Amino acid sequence: MKIEVPFNNKKVSIDLAKGIDISIAIDPNSGVNAFHIPTAKFEPIRVGSFVGSVKEGGSANCENLYINAHGNGTHTECIGHISEERVCIHDCFKQFFFFAQLVSVTPKEFNGDFIIDIESINNYQKQMECEAIIIRTLPNHTNKLTTNYSGNNPTYLSPELCEYLREIGIKHLLIDLPSVDREEDKGALAAHKAYWDFEGAFRKDMTITELVYVPTEVEDGTYFLNLQIASLMTDASPSKPLLFNMLIC
């Protein structure tokens, strides 16, 4: 199925049958993990004589899922992640299609850490109608799909970069890292707060999606993004971002 939509005073064609999945599945056997969060667990429900496993003799498969969105795979979070006020992703995320730019960057060393700052994306020229940015870190090994980041102080974003992205109109930030902030920062969460304007407008209309994986063959550029979440009344949800190529009509 193809659709045509306006973009930057042009009309582009999008083939909805050719989505590029950039999510990492939540896998209890070999999935990605971060922040010392327990590995996801899927197990059949057991109620009286009923077991939710056909393999074990039940009439149907019916599993309980034990997950933590923030550490078990691709997830999208709202400002409720850092606020005392209970803000749920289901309530504040109502639009699911965006124009997005994919940008590949090489982290730089800073005080023994590796960070992504404003200088890292100097070559990035925001397209007028793009509300989303996807930051892919280099090198882009497939081991990102199964890495245990816990205790390894992975790359993170500078607060100045997050503030800059907010100021230029980015509402949806997607990264292939477990967090925009340092793994251990004594609870400062400076990058999260800068992005969501925590001390100012308190932006409920903006999201951060972490632990994506963009295959190397997907070139930097502008894409049509479909970002879907589960209908969960909590601060973050497992999510499935899909990218679609755009062709000028």
pLDDT digits (tens, 9 = 90+) for 88-100: 999 999 999 999 9
CATH homologous superfamily for the domain 2-25+76-248: Putative cyclase (3.50.30.50)
pLDDT at site 20:
98
Residue whose token pair is 């892919």: 136
Burial classification of residue 105, based on how many CB atoms lie within 10 Å of its CB (0-12 exposed, 13-18 middle, 19 or more buried) = buried
pLDDT digits (tens, 9 = 90+) for 144-196: 999 999 999 999 999 999 999 999 999 999 999 999 999 999 999 999 999 99
pLDDT digits (tens, 9 = 90+) for 200-211: 999 999 999 999
Burial classification of residue 106, based on how many CB atoms lie within 10 Å of its CB (0-12 exposed, 13-18 middle, 19 or more buried) = exposed
* Length of the chain in terms of residues written: 249
Mean pLDDT of 28-37: 93
pLDDT at site 123:
78
Mean pLDDT of 11-38: 95
- Which residues, at least 6 apart from 181, have a Cβ–Cβ distance to it below 8 Å? 156, 157, 188, 189, 190, 191, 192
Residue whose token pair is 């930057």: 8
CA angle 164, 165, 170 (to 5 degrees): 150
* Residue 18 predicted with pLDDT over 90: yes
* Residue 76 predicted with pLDDT over 90: yes
> What is the H or E stretch that residue 194 is in?
helix 190-195
Mean pLDDT of 2-20: 95
> What is the H or E stretch that residue 159 is in?
helix 159-167
Distance of CA 46 to the CA centre of its chain: 34
**102 — pLDDT class (breaks 50, 70, 90):** very high
Mean pLDDT of 30-48: 95
pLDDT at site 77:
98
pLDDT at site 125:
80
**128 — pLDDT class (breaks 50, 70, 90):** confident
pLDDT at site 249:
86
